[in-house]
């Protein structure tokens, strides 16, 4: 879940919205699991990465 308002309870991590930051954060599935201290399936990680990239692209289009 992407929490732009930082209001949802639970674990979270800040990832800057640039393409390079998103790619670096998601370089390896183990990295995200370590940062969030959870074990997410690779499919969830791939979907989450894509959602962040989609948001980054839409933000660029609005600017």
| Beta-strand runs (E) in 1-63 | none
| Structure confidence at residue 40 (pLDDT) | 87
pLDDT band at 1 (very low <50, low <70, confident <90, very high): low
* 3-state DSSP helix/strand/coil % of the chain, to nearest 5: 55, 0, 45
Percentage of residues in the chain having pLDDT higher than 70: 73
Q: Where are the domains of the chain?
A: 19-62
Q: Are 29 and 45 in contact (CB under 8 A)?
A: yes
Q: How far apart are the C-alpha atoms of 12 and 36, rounded to whole Å?
A: 6
Output the average pLDDT for the chain: 78
Share of the chain above pLDDT 90, in %: 2
pLDDT(16) > 70: yes
For residue 1, the tally of other CB atoms under 10 A from its CB is 7
Q: At residue 60, does pLDDT exceed 60? A: no
pTM to 2 decimals?
A: 0.62
> In sequence order, which residues have a C-beta less than 8 Å from that of residue 36 and are 6 or more positions away?
11, 12, 13
């Amino acid at each position: 879940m992407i929490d732009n308002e930082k209001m949802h309870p639970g674990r979270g991590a800040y990832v800057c919205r640039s393409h390079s930051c998103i790619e670096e954060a998601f370089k390896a599935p183990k990295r995200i699991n370590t940062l969030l201290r959870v074990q997410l399936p690779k499919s969830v990680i791939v979907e989450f990465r894509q959602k962040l990239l989609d948001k980054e692209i839409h933000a660029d289009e609005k600017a």
